[in-house]
Amino acid sequence: TDSNWLMSFTCNRQPHFPGQPDDVLVLWVYALFMDKEGNYIKKPMPQCTGDEILAELCHHLGIIDQLDDVIKNTIVRTTFMPYITSMFMPRAKGDRPRVVPEGCKNLGLIGQFVETNNDVVFTMESSVRTTRIAVYELLNLNKQVPDINPLQYDIRHLLKAAKTLNDDKPFVGEGLLRKMLKGTYFEHILPIGSEEQEDHESFLTEQITKFKDWLKGIKG
């Protein structure tokens, strides 16, 4: 939605809970800006009741005229999680401690709020990785935590991600790029597609071919 709270909602596969009645729909509503007034409810979200949060949502969905009926048929459960995404906040070196702070012999810090090299946060893997680092270092174990594969710098994965974001359709210029790289060392960097996609020649490629033929005709 366009709420000042940066509010979004999702409706996941139903039933959301075991034993959920067929006539019950579970929605997840989430907002990020806790210090801003809503567009319809003129106060910050943490100060709102469940019905007021529901009213703000209905306002942005264009059904505010049905608010009374919506409230009557909706149960709102609120949860305030002020630090849930704080690991994504901008930070500088030194804002977070190392897994084993310098000079510590019996203290290890694990989880999402410690500094690790070349890793990302908000994953189970990163939490496990910090635990392994702490255990290996504090117990003086001659073991190395596996290096992280720098896939974010791999052009093959970047192109594959671009294609996925484009609903697995060929990205602009893909046909031309395939033709230029065909038979070269770099041919393998392009995402592997279906047979139809492999045979796909973009409009741009066709026009360039025609242009080359036209030039040959002039020179000939």
Map out the domains of the chain as residue ranges: 7-72, 92-148, 152-219
* Closest by CA position to 52, among listed 20, 19, 74: 74
- Mean predicted confidence (pLDDT) in 197-218: 65
The pLDDT of residue 53: 92
Does 219 or 136 have the greater pLDDT score? 136
The pLDDT of residue 193: 60
Does 59 or 210 have the greater pLDDT score? 59
The pLDDT of residue 42: 92
How does pLDDT run across 107-151, given as a tens digit for each residue?
Answer: 999 988 888 877 878 888 888 999 999 999 999 999 988 888 777
How does pLDDT run across 35-91, given as a tens digit for each residue?
Answer: 899 999 999 998 999 999 999 999 998 989 999 999 999 999 998 887 777 777 778
The partner residues of 115 in beta bridges, in order of sequence, read 98
How does pLDDT run across 89-103, given as a tens digit for each residue?
Answer: 778 888 889 999 989
Does 7 or 151 have the greater pLDDT score? 7
Mean of the per-residue pLDDT values for the chain? 83
pLDDT above 70 (res 219): no
Does 162 or 69 have the greater pLDDT score? 69
pLDDT class of 183 with cuts at 50, 70, 90: confident
Instruction: Mention the CATH class of domain 7-72.
Output: alpha beta
